[in-house]
């Protein structure tokens, strides 16, 4: 068997794993294990956890509903335009989230280009609302889904779609019945990544949605504030967030990615 990677690759891999895991171990080491239950059972913590789970799930749903069509369009684009469009879609990944939040304010704030109109026409004010949290999260999380799905769509052998078309299927039916099932593992991966990114979102949320308990104060915001005055509570909150995400990621991976992702 020559499938095992060479020693230096394993060594670098171990370093990478250490870089990712060591801070988490240090966090666990400082955790107030004895008081953990009391800290986590408090009202503000449960409010923040519930809000985080609800908004991150909503954001992931927004990413799927809007991101799959975008990925489909991108995957069928050709030439220079496609390269530029792809780069634009990836930009929120490199943009500092705080700047993303400010950009959302300029667009959707009360005095923003679109926000002004929304308030005038419909009386809708997004800023400082749970909807603003979802939008901020979707803004930073969408590229993870789009890029993942788009790459998968481009790698689908066009002969399957041609065959479906030959048999009389329209574009929509071909996509839903033939193409989509083939990219489902990538869609699931993208959705999970988007959900995880949304769950940890901080900068865009605080800038665009503000911070109010039970309304816009997600777990990362609660952790940041706790860090200011009560270190142990901050660590306890972080551990809870990590544990919840870990359980969900492991469960999803078993159910979706591992079984359907391997050929």
Contacts of 203 (CB under 8 A, 6+ apart): 96, 97, 98, 99, 100, 101
Query: Of the candidates 144, 136, 134, 140, which has an alpha carbon nearest to the alpha carbon of residue 51?
Result: 134
**Residues 16-45 interacting with another protein (rule: CB under 8 A):** 22, 26, 29-30
Secondary-structure breakdown of the chain: helix, strand, coil percentages, each rounded to the nearest 5: 80, 0, 20
Q: Is residue 206 close enough to count as binding another protein by CB under 8 A?
A: yes
One of 57, 61, 103, 128 touching another protein (CB under 8 A): 128
Pick the closer one to another protein by CB: 179 or 205.
205
Q: Is residue 110 close enough to count as binding another protein by CB under 8 A?
A: yes
Q: What are phi and psi of 230, to 5 degrees?
A: -145, 85
Provide the minimum distance between the beta carbon of 35 and another protein in the complex, in angstroms, as a whole number. Answer: 17
As a whole number of Å, the CA-based R_g of the chain is 21
Task: From 142-150, 165-173, 184-192, 207-215, give the range in contact with another protein by CB under 8 A.
Answer: 207-215
One of 189, 216, 218, 238 touching another protein (CB under 8 A): 216
One of 207, 220, 238, 241 touching another protein (CB under 8 A): 207
Contacts of 155 (CB under 8 A, 6+ apart): none
One of 20, 34, 122, 228 touching another protein (CB under 8 A): 228
Answer positive or negative: Cα dihedral of 219, 223, 229, 232: positive
Q: Is residue 74 close enough to count as binding another protein by CB under 8 A?
A: no
Binding-site size, another protein (CB under 8 A): 26
Contact set with another protein (CB under 8 A): 22, 26, 29-30, 105, 109-111, 125, 127-128, 206-207, 209-213, 216, 221, 224-225, 227-229, 231
């Amino acid at each position: 068997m020559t499938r095992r990677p060479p020693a230096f690759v394993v060594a670098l891999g171990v370093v990478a794993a250490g870089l990712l895991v060591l801070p988490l171990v240090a966090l666990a080491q400082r955790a107030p294990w004895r008081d953990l239950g009391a800290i986590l059972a408090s009202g503000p913590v449960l409010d923040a956890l519930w809000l985080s789970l609800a908004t991150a799930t909503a954001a992931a749903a927004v990413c799927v509903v809007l991101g799959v069509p975008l990925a489909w369009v991108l995957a069928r684009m050709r030439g220079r335009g496609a390269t530029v469009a792809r780069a634009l879609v990836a930009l929120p990944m490199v943009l500092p989230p705080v700047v993303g939040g400010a950009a959302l304010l300029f667009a959707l704030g009360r005095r923003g280009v679109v926000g002004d109109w929304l308030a005038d026409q419909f009386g809708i004010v997004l800023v400082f609302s749970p909807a603003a949290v979802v939008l901020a999260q979707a803004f930073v999380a969408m590229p993870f889904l789009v890029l993942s799905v788009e790459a998968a769509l481009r790698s689908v052998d066009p002969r399957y779609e041609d065959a479906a078309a030959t048999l009389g299927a329209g574009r929509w039916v071909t996509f839903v019945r033939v193409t989509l099932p083939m990219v489902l593992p990538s869609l699931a991966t993208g959705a999970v990544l988007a959900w995880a990114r949304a769950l940890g979102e901080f900068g865009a949320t605080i800038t665009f949605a503000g911070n109010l308990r039970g309304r816009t104060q997600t777990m990362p915001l609660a952790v940041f504030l706790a860090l200011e005055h009560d270190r142990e509570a901050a660590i306890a909150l972080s551990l809870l967030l990590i544990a919840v995400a870990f359980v969900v990621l492991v469960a999803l991976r078993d159910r979706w990615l591992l079984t359907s992702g391997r050929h």
